Amino acid sequence: MAPAAPGGGWDGTARSMQQALTASGIAKSVQVTNVTGAGGTIGLAQLINAKGDGSQLMVNGFVMVGAILLNKSPVNLTQVTPIARLTAEALVIVVPTESPIKNAKDLADRVKADPAKVTWAGGSAGGADHILAALFAEAAGGDPKKINYIPFSGGGEALAAMLGGRVTAGISGYGEFEGQIKAGKLRVIGVSAPARLANAPDAPTLKEGGVNLELMNWRSVVAPPGLSADQTKTLSDAVEKMVKSKEWAEILKARGWDDAYLGGAAFDAFLKAEQTRVSKVMTDVGLVK
């Protein structure tokens, strides 16, 4: 299940898994279903209702952690069987090239002095972009509740707002702004990865710029609750074989995704930690009371 409409990131991940699992012979047949609505929480409720069904998997990710809190969802990720984290994408903070802000320290100084005067353009409220803006304010010593974040439905609109000088800085996945960065219209202030990106070796990390902050927009796969140890092992083994297949490696390369495979108890612990972190940030920012 992709708990979102066709064409988005979760749908792309689900269909890529379908392709890799069948092409590698790990599974004979894989169907993808789309369940839209409420940041994936409608799909999550359906998965939880499929208790004990060892033939189902659902793609999800960082965005769902925030959506559960924003939508006051009656279901949450503590109710699923964690299987594996699959991919991760770093976010990038950019400013227009003519901006007086030259690096992460310049932006941090402004945020610290007056968080409300710095306007951020990014994706939906409560998503990875919004959370990065809040974490940046906190790391800079500013009040994250006072950040001025403007959500846009697509990267194109955010880009227009930035190039038109209507916002101070923008946040998105690197790929969304890559063309404008390479064309010299946008300057990278920092990437949210632990190390520089292979496809953007000139772009410094936020940590290099003196802002102690990392955030990866990850995607994962989970199963219904109430599975036996054997059912969980079967699904976990299939996904582990898939991430090690040449078919999956080709998909990652073609789509520009980073392999961030994490399975078993390590993924379970990671998922719990992310839920705690996102809940704290969203409470700090005032998105969740």
Query: Token pair of 204, please?
Result: 């410094």
b/e sequence 74-104, b meaning 16+ C-beta within 10 Å: ebebeebbbbbbbbbbbbbbbbbeebebebb
The burial of 121, by beta-carbon neighbours within 10 Å (0-12 exposed, 13-18 middle, 19 or more buried), is given as buried
Alpha-carbon span 40 to 281, nearest angstrom: 20
- Are 33 and 61 in contact by the 8 Å Cβ rule? The answer is no
Alpha-carbon span 266 to 58, nearest angstrom: 19
Rg of the Cα atoms in the chain: 19
Question: What does the pLDDT profile of the chain (289 residues) look like in tens digits?
Answer: 999 888 878 999 999 999 999 999 999 999 999 998 888 899 999 999 999 999 999 999 998 998 899 889 999 999 999 999 999 989 999 999 999 999 999 999 999 999 999 999 998 778 889 999 999 999 999 998 899 999 886 667 888 898 898 999 999 888 788 889 999 999 999 999 999 988 888 999 999 999 999 998 899 999 999 999 999 999 999 999 999 999 999 999 888 788 999 999 999 999 999 999 899 888 887 888 8
* Cβ within 8 Å of residue 229, ≥6 positions away: none
Residue 230 bridge partners (DSSP): none
Which helix (H) or strand (E) segment holds residue 22: the answer is: helix 9-23
pLDDT number for residue 289: 80
Alpha-carbon span 266 to 253, nearest angstrom: 25
Alpha-carbon span 280 to 277, nearest angstrom: 5
Look at the chain and count its residues. Answer: 289
